[in-house]
A and B are shown apart, each in its own frame.
Chain A
Amino acid sequence: MGDWVQSLIDGGMVPAAIPAWVHYLTAALVFGGVIVFGFVLPIAGITTWVERRIVGRIQSRIGPNRVGPAGFLQWLADGLKSMLKEDIVPTAADGPLFRFAPYVVMTGFVGTFAALPFTSALIVADLNVGILYVTSVTALVVVGILMAGWASNNKWSLLGGIRSAAQIVSYEIPAGLSIFPIVLLTGSLSMQDIIRSQGAGPFSWYLFANPFTFVAFFVFFVSALAEGNRTPFDLPEAESELVAGFATEYSGMRSVLFFMAEWGNLYVIGAIVTTLFLGGWQIPFAFENRIVQHVLEFATFFLKSYGVGVLVPIWLRWTLPRIRVDQMMTMCWKYLVPIAFVNLLGTAAWMLWVAPWVQMLVRVTLLGATFAGILMFLRRVVYHLEYAKLGRRHLSFNPLGTARSPG
């Protein structure tokens, strides 16, 4: 982006009398605005719609279906409603901190979009410490949550904030440790480099490169879920225990900011996972037409990150119960961190000492095992349907399909 602005200045498109940094700043703001309002917020909003529809089907009901076609405008209606609500700041709450906390959380979340590689050319800032930047910026969320918990002047919020701080800070470790095997394999921290060093099809993804990265995928996925405060790790906002945890005292648009950050964070998790393990925007064939190429790359990236980062966590959230605080800490420090260390050392050892033909063999085996696993899973799903004695007439594969008639 910086080069593009520079080219505009050089080409005389913008008045040269104004200092260059003003141009950069304007461009940054405009780009930022476009990305935030055109992509980030709609993603967060539409994810709420997707989640509610999926949850509906999981629970044998339909989700929102009144506002707009199949309830698609529900999120707009909800956002509008929240904006029109009274802005309640508790008298005894710490005013400035209370008001500032949602913005910190949003910053921590939106800031990551600057480094996400959507296509081979569409990346706002191809930092050479890309992945490190992303993990660092998401840690701002901890500060925001602690601020919210403390400033609410509510013991329940405080508990929620403290739990969340402990959780996010702890799970940074296995997340970071799981990134390192990938960095070892690539040799660079830059997001685009990581993607470019993977190939196009599933065969050359880092996910199947060696058994250690395979395990690292799951470790990273679980840690990222924990950092995003998603069930099974949603203690900080445990609805049935602490009302809404650190966000109890927030109403209207401020609470919407918190929850948009949570849902949008899912997409960021998906994007990071796709970049690191699933080959990013790589597509098997190259097109001459650059527009077609980039559209396909964008679609690939988007579908992969949405599928793994949004749909699977939604599915997990509505299947699993919540883990208790001490069990969560046990899981992090006694299970995930040692496994992550083993992954790191294992990858290093793999790179050094394992012959290429063994690597190829293991890659094929891992691919095959994954396919077999998915098939077994589908068979299990069919078993459940048969056990509940559900014939064809009880099934509906139409995701927008609805209800029965009475009688």
Chain B
Amino acid sequence: MTGVPEYPATSGGYGLPATGQSGNLADILERVLDRGIVIAGDIRVNLLDIELLTIKLRLVVASVDTAREMGIDWWEHDPFLTARPRRPVPPGDDRGELTGGEEER
């Protein structure tokens, strides 16, 4: 082992999930939209837009049956949307965390 990460043998080949779940769109979106390092880009896309987008996605990704079951406005009552917990922010560092719609630096 050279210190280079080698994926476990259970992993599939390129792009193939080990467990049949890694290719799940919800899991990918959650990671690329909400995790990963936030670096100031030249081109600014307000993260709040992405936040709103995930709300929209939640509606679209929901199956018709699920959506019907829950009512068209179920997401409005979802505590994770209305009071979404955030990872703790180190003092003086607001990168990557939404602060009431404030755009990132």
* A-B complex is real: no
B interface residues, Cβ below 8 angstroms from A: none
A interface residues, Cβ below 8 angstroms from B: none
